Structure 1
Amino acid sequence: MSPPASTGRSRDGSDPGPVYLVTSADQPELGTDDRLLHQALLAAGVPVTVAVWTDPDVPWHDAAVCVIRSVWDYHLHPERFIRWLSQVSTVTTVLNPPRLVAWNTHKRYLIGLAAAGIPTVETVWITPGSNADVRQLLDDTGWEQALLKPAVSASAWLTGKVRPGDAEGQRLLGRILRHCDAMLQPYLATVDRDGEVSVIVIDGAVSHGVRRKSALTGDIEVTRHGSPHEITPAERSLAERIVGLLPEQPLYARVDLLRDDADRLLLGELELVEPVLYLRHARRALDGLATAVRRHACHRTGASAPTPRPGAPLGAPA
C-alpha cells in the first residue's frame, strides 16, 4: 500500500484535491527532481501521495490528479502500463494526457514528427520476425558506426553502438526483437563531444535548458544530473514547433536535441512519459510546474484537463 497522503492548506484559501505522484516500485521515494516537486506541492498547499503504478492496492479514484513521474520501468511492461493508463484515466485526471503518453511510449512517433517537417535522425526500423542482418544494414547505409536501440525503452536499456564486422550487434538485435521493434541510427560523433541539449517545456512554455552527457557513458546518474544550458534561438524555435504539433498541451515535455556532423539541429527524442526535468537547475520551472499541478488539482471534475488543439497536424495519437 502506498504511503498516506501528506496535507497542507493552500495559500489562497482554495482546496486542491489530492495529487498522486506516480512512480515505480524501484523508485518508491521518487527520483531526485520529483522529490523537489513533492516538496513544492506541499509548500503550495497540495495534499500529495507517492503511488507505485504497479501497486494493486492504490485507490486511484481518490486522486484529483495523477502526475506520471518516476515510472522508469514502464518499458519493461509496456502492455501492462498502457492498460493501467487506460484504467486509471477513467477514474481521475492523468497528466501527461493519456493519449499523448500512450503515443509517446513507442518511438514510432518520430515518423509522424518527421512527416510534419521536424528534422530527425535518420532511422532504419526493424520489426520482430524479420531476417535483418546488422552487418548488411551497415553496409547498405554506409554508416561506420551506428546506434542500435529498442523502440520502447528508457534509460538507454538495451542500447549500444554497433560497427561493421561486430558480431555483438547481431546478438543485441536479437535481444531487442524479443521485446519490440528495433531502431538503427547513425552514431553522431558530436554526441561524444557535446552531449545532448534538453529543452524543457512546462505548462506550454519553454522553461529552461540542460546539456546532458550521453547515457551510453554507462553512468545514468551523471546523465540525470546535467548542467544548465542557455537555450539558443534555434533550439527554442525547434522545441516550440515540436510541442506545438501535439493535439493536446502536455503538462511537461522534454525535447532532446543534438547536432549532426554538418551542425544541423535534429530531434533526438521527445519525452512525454517520465522524463527527468532537471528542476534542480531552475527554481522558476519547479514553481511553475507545482502551480500548474495545483491548478489541475483544484478542478476535481476534470474541467482543467488539457484541451484538444483543433487541426493539430499529428491528429490523435494512437
Structure 2
Amino acid sequence: MQKFDIVIVTEDRYDNIIASDENETNILLEDSIIQKAFERKGMKTFRTSWSNPEFDWSSSKLVFISTTWDYFDRFPEFSRWLESVKNQSVLINPYDTLTWNIDKHYLSDLNDVGINIPKTIFIEKGEHKTLSQLFDESGWEEAVLKPAVSGAGRHTYRLNSNNFGDYEKVFGELLAEESMMFQEFQKNVLTKGEVAHMFMGGEYTHSILKIAKKGDFRVQDDFGGTVEFYNASKT
C-alpha cells in the first residue's frame, strides 16, 4: 500500500536537522517551499535521505530528487540507488534524464546539436595522460580541471603553464578512479560571472547570475560566491 503521494529526497547531512549555518538554512528553505507547494495541491508528502536504509521507496507514488548534494562523493552508491528506485516508484525527472545530466559528458551532446560550449577535452578513467600533454595538445594558456561527475567545486582546479606541475599527482590519482574533463578557462567568469537559465517542463522560467568571490574563480557559495537574479535577453 502506498502511504505517500510524493517523497522529497535529500541526503544524510540535511535530513532531520536544525539549521546551523547559511547553507543548511537555504537547503531546508528550498525543500520546505517545494514540500508546501505539493501539500497545497492536496498531496501527502514525506522528506527523507536517499540513503535512508529504513525507507520503503515503493510506499510513494512519486519521488522528487531535491537536495542530494553528496551524490558526487558517493556516486557508485547513488547510482545503484537510482537504478533501484526507478523500479519501485516514479521519478519526477526521468531516470534517463537524471543519469545523462549527472555526467558532464552531456556537454558533447549539446555541442553536437550546435550549442556552444567551452573547448573541452574528456579524459576517460584509466587513460594514460598527463597535464603536460594536455597543455601541449590544446595550446591553451589557462584551463580548468575537474571530474566529469562532480559538483560544489569538488576537485576543480584552475591551471596554467606555471602551476600545472603541482597538480600532476592529484590528476593521476583522480584519473585512476574516474573520468576527468579539461576545459579552456573562460576569463569572462571573472569579469561577468556565470549565467544559468532555468527551464521547467520545457518552458523558460528565469535566470540567475553567479559571481565568484574576489580572488577566486569558483562561483559556488561553498567558496564565497553569490547568486542574484538576472534579466536575460531573448537573444
Match in the other structure for 1:106: 103
Q: Are the counterparts in 1 of residues 142 and 159 from structure 2 also a CA contact under 8 Å? A: yes
Moved more, 80-89 or 167-176: 167-176
- Alpha-carbon distance in 2 for matches of 1:226, 1:117: 28
Q: Quick check: 1:26 aligned with 2:5?
A: no
Give the residue type in structure 1 aligned to 2:201.
D
Partner of residue 85 from structure 1, selected from 82, 87, 107: 82
- Cα gap change, 1:78 to 1:46, in 2 (>3 Å): same
Q: In proportion to residue count, which structure has more strand?
A: 2
Unaligned ranges ≥5, structure 2: 17-23
Partner of residue 113 from structure 2, selected from 110, 116, 128: 116
Match in the other structure for 1:216: 218
- Cα gap change, 1:218 to 1:84, in 2 (>3 Å): closer
Instruction: Figure out how many residues of one structure are paired with residues of the other and give that number.
Output: 218
- Cα gap change, 1:142 to 1:227, in 2 (>3 Å): same
- Cα gap change, 1:179 to 1:95, in 2 (>3 Å): farther
Q: Which has the higher contact order (CA 8 A, sep 6+)?
A: 1
Deviation, 1:221, is 7.1
Unaligned ranges ≥5, structure 1: 6-16, 235-318
Match in the other structure for 2:45: 48
- The 4+ residue runs of structure 1 with deviation greater than 3 A are none
- Alpha-carbon distance in 1 for matches of 2:72, 2:40: 32
- 1:38-70 CA-to-partner distances (Å, cap 9, x unmatched) read 232233332221111111111111111100111
Q: Are the counterparts in 2 of residues 196 and 213 from structure 1 also a CA contact under 8 Å? A: yes
Match in the other structure for 2:123: 126
- 1:106-139 CA-to-partner distances (Å, cap 9, x unmatched) read 1111112211221111111112333312123213
- Cα gap change, 1:231 to 1:217, in 2 (>3 Å): closer
TM-score by length of 2: 0.85
Deviation, 1:174, is 2.2
- Cα gap change, 1:73 to 1:232, in 2 (>3 Å): same
Q: Are the counterparts in 2 of residues 163 and 169 from structure 1 also a CA contact under 8 Å? A: no
Give the residue type in structure 1 aligned to 2:148.
A
Identity of aligned residues (%): 25
TM-score by length of 1: 0.64
Secondary structure of the structure 2 residue equivalent to 1:99:
helix
Match in the other structure for 1:64: 61
Q: What do you get for the CA RMSD once the two structures are aligned? A: 2.1
